């Protein structure tokens, strides 16, 4: 593909195989060496390898491979392990994701004070139809206001924010 600039469908036509066969074969070539060795030596089948290839994290992929070898697991077992490892990988990615919300008392306090500050025209706190959301992460801080009601009912709150920000 790289050397001659061919697509998978062009390769499939030239070698007389289906596009799916070519795609699967190319995916198998991108496996870690340990899995390729297991595939070549017959320790695992192509079905096992395809199932394990679905795991994004190579470390987890090799861990699942070792479990399959230890248990002499079936392709179904490899698919089940792949699903579990993918879920585990996604949980770890969420934990290390810099977009994860930073929770703090200070942020909650700011959100509450902004909400209270938008009480206008003798409106009671309970009748305040304003939603204030303040979300802070490692990469961004997001502040959103939602005023429920008609334009005439929400105009005072909008003007209050506009004046506070622009002055």
Beta carbons of 11 and 1 less than 8 angstroms apart: yes
pLDDT tens digits in sequence order for the chain, 167 residues long:
888 899 999 999 999 999 999 998 888 998 999 999 999 999 999 999 999 998 888 888 999 999 999 999 899 999 999 998 888 777 666 655 555 555 677 888 888 888 888 877 666 665 678 888 888 777 788 899 998 888 998 898 899 899 999 98
Predicted TM-score of the model (pTM): 0.52
79/95 Cα distance (integer angstroms): 25
- The encoded tokens of residue 41 equal 């030596």
109/31 Cα distance (integer angstroms): 50
Mention every residue, 6+ apart, whose C-beta is less than 8 A from residue 116: 125
């Amino acid at each position: 593909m790289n050397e001659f600039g061919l697509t998978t469908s062009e390769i499939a036509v030239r070698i007389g195989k289906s596009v799916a066969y070519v795609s699967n074969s190319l995916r198998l070539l991108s496996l870690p060496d340990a899995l390729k060795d297991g595939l070549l030596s017959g320790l695992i089948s192509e079905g096992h390898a395809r199932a394990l290839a679905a795991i994004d994290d190579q470390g987890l992929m090799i861990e699942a491979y070792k479990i399959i070898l230890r248990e002499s697991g079936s392709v179904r077992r490899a698919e089940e392990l792949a699903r579990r490892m993918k879920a585990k990988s996604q949980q770890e990615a969420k934990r290390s994701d810099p977009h994860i919300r930073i929770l703090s008392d200070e942020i909650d306090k700011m959100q509450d004070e902004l909400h209270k500050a938008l009480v206008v025209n003798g409106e009671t706190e309970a009748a305040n139809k304003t939603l204030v959301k303040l979300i802070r992460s490692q990469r961004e801080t997001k502040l959103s206001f939602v005023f429920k009601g008609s334009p005439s009912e929400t105009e005072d709150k909008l003007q209050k924010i506009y004046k506070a920000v622009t002055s």
